[in-house]
Amino acid sequence: MEAMNAVRLLDDYRRGDFFLATERRTVAGAGVAQELTGTDEAALSERVHAVLAESDPPIAMGVLPFDSGAGTPGRMVVPATAHVTGPAHPAAATLPRREVGTPSRVRSVPEPVLHRDAVARAVAALGERGLRKVVLARALDLEFDTGVSPEAILVNLVLDNPRGYTFAAGLPGARTLVGSSPELLLSRRGTQVVSHPHAGSMPRSADPVEDAENGRALLASRKDHIEHAVLTDAVTEALRPFCRKLDVPAVPDLVSTPTMWHLGTTVTGELIDADITALRLAAALHPTPAICGTPTDSARALVTELEPFQRGYYAGAVGWVDAGGDGEWAVSIRCAEVAERSLRLYAGGGIVPDSDPQAELDETTAKFATLFGAMGLPREWLAEVSSSAGPAHAGRG
């Protein structure tokens, strides 16, 4: 695998290919030497491992869906050419921002008032069905009169956040998943594994006093600590059978992106069996309660019942694995599925018994700001399309 300048790789990215920029490295793959798809993620990881023993380049990259049971397959590609190099920053900061264009229509799915209703129904269902947490999402559909460029969105996302897991990945049906996630599902290097689960949120603010206050409020929020503890417990339990040592801090850290504050816990472990690959571990962890809920099956059933769309590759995972089993997988949030002249943005939030429907609607609105900012769209539009007044406010143009 050749090393090439990360900025050049970013500039060269074309839809259909794979790109992941992190604080530590940049991974890019172009073209398709082999494609493997499947709805059983553990089986897919075994097939990928077998293929990688004979592949050049010895690396596969791709996406896992939120729910492969809904028929959306995991997709892994051994690219024709692959590059693994250093971080895109600070050099990327010199790149000019790219124009994305203005959508002719922006629509909330479901309408904001219906998302609030869904949150209220979820709160009721938690008690009735014995769930500790469920994550509910909504979408924004943007339509354009001309082609929309995932390449431009990717460049702007990389510029906006040197610390994110910023990705673009080709999907079946000539679509592209593009986004910038704060959340590491799993990385493996030799026998060392790391997961950095995130749950609990407050928006960042341009006003430094309010911004710091929001961070403090999140650290003091009992509801958010409960939401986070459910997640950390599940990640710990999923990793435990694979690890001889596991380190789980007792309290989460306050972590941030340019648009959100979160609670995050860095879980580190040492594998018992060095043959377990990063993709196999990602498949074992997914879906965590950061994007689904607890217990997993009942939470997933409730998501299917209450959300008026299929999540596809939102709230799945995006990453890579090499022939030695090392790799890095991010939770695919703060992202959009881009088609020819349209795109769908997704944002969700964890619901626990103390959740408030309006606050949950506002939280999804704040999370959309990552993609909205990268597309150069005004924040006021986001507020307008997320107004709980409903359909009269739900469209533009």
Binding to ligand ISC by CB under 6 A, coded x per residue (else -) over 174-193, reads: ---------x----------
For ligand ISC, the closer of residues 183 and 328 by Cβ is: 183
Q: C-beta of 203: minimal distance to ligand ISC in Å?
A: 11
Q: Which residues are within 8 A (CB) of 104 and not within 5 positions of it... i.e. 6 or more apart? A: 143, 144, 145, 396, 397
DSSP code for 241: G
DSSP code for 224: H
Element containing residue 321 per DSSP (H, E): strand 317-322
Q: C-beta of 167: minimal distance to ligand ISC in Å?
A: 14
Distance, in Å, from the CA atom of 281 to the CA atom of 378, rounded to the nearest integer, reads 39
Is beta strand 165-171 parallel, antiparallel or unpaired with respect to 267-271?
unpaired
Both tokens of 347, joined, read 């944002």
For ligand ISC, the closer of residues 160 and 322 by Cβ is: 160
Q: Which of 395, 330, 343 is nearest to 374 (CA)?
A: 343
- CA-to-CA separations, 341 to 79, 100, 141, 297, 344, in angstroms, rounded: 26, 11, 11, 35, 11
Determine which residue in the list 349, 355, 357, 386 makes contact with ligand ISC, applying CB under 6 A.
349
* Residues 348, 138 contacting (CB under 8 angstroms): yes
Give me the catalytic one of 41, 133, 307, 337. Answer: 133
For ligand ISC, the closer of residues 135 and 278 by Cβ is: 135
* Residues 337, 179 contacting (CB under 8 angstroms): no
Contact stretch for ligand ISC (CB under 6 A) within 103-111, 211-219, 301-309, 347-355: 347-355
Give me the catalytic one of 111, 151, 183, 227. Answer: 183
User: Would residue 133 show up in a list of annotated catalytic residues for this protein?
Assistant: yes
Whether omega for the bond prior to residue 90 falls within 30 degrees of 0, making it cis, is: yes
Q: C-beta of 114: minimal distance to ligand ISC in Å?
A: 18
Asked if 65 is part of the footprint of ligand ISC (rule: CB under 6 A), the reply reads no
Question: Angle between the 357-374 and 112-129 helix axes, to the nearest 10 degrees?
Answer: 130
Asked if 103 is part of the footprint of ligand ISC (rule: CB under 6 A), the reply reads no
Binding to ligand ISC by CB under 6 A, coded x per residue (else -) over 115-154, reads: --------------------x-x-----------------
Determine which residue in the list 235, 280, 367, 377 makes contact with ligand ISC, applying CB under 6 A.
367
Total binding residues for ligand ISC by CB under 6 A? 17
For ligand ISC, the closer of residues 198 and 280 by Cβ is: 198
Please give the span between the terminal C-alpha atoms of the chain, in angstroms, as a whole number.
Answer: 47
In the region spanning residues 249 to 268, those forming contacts with ligand ISC, defined by CB under 6 A, are 262
The dihedral sign for the CA sequence 378, 159, 366, 18: positive
User: Would residue 223 show up in a list of annotated catalytic residues for this protein?
Assistant: no
Asked if 218 is part of the footprint of ligand ISC (rule: CB under 6 A), the reply reads no
Q: Which residues are within 8 A (CB) of 355 and not within 5 positions of it... i.e. 6 or more apart? A: 119, 122, 123, 223, 349
Asked if 350 is part of the footprint of ligand ISC (rule: CB under 6 A), the reply reads yes
* Residues 129, 302 contacting (CB under 8 angstroms): yes
In the region spanning residues 270 to 329, those forming contacts with ligand ISC, defined by CB under 6 A, are 290-291
* Residues 58, 322 contacting (CB under 8 angstroms): yes
Contact stretch for ligand ISC (CB under 6 A) within 7-15, 39-47, 50-58, 346-354: 346-354
Q: C-beta of 137: minimal distance to ligand ISC in Å?
A: 6
Determine which residue in the list 79, 200, 252, 327 makes contact with ligand ISC, applying CB under 6 A.
200
Asked if 160 is part of the footprint of ligand ISC (rule: CB under 6 A), the reply reads no
For ligand ISC, the closer of residues 156 and 332 by Cβ is: 332
Residues of this chain that interact with ligand ISC (CB under 6 A) are 135, 137, 183, 198-201, 262, 290-291, 333-334, 347-350, 367
Report, as residue numbers or ranges, the catalytic residues: 133, 183
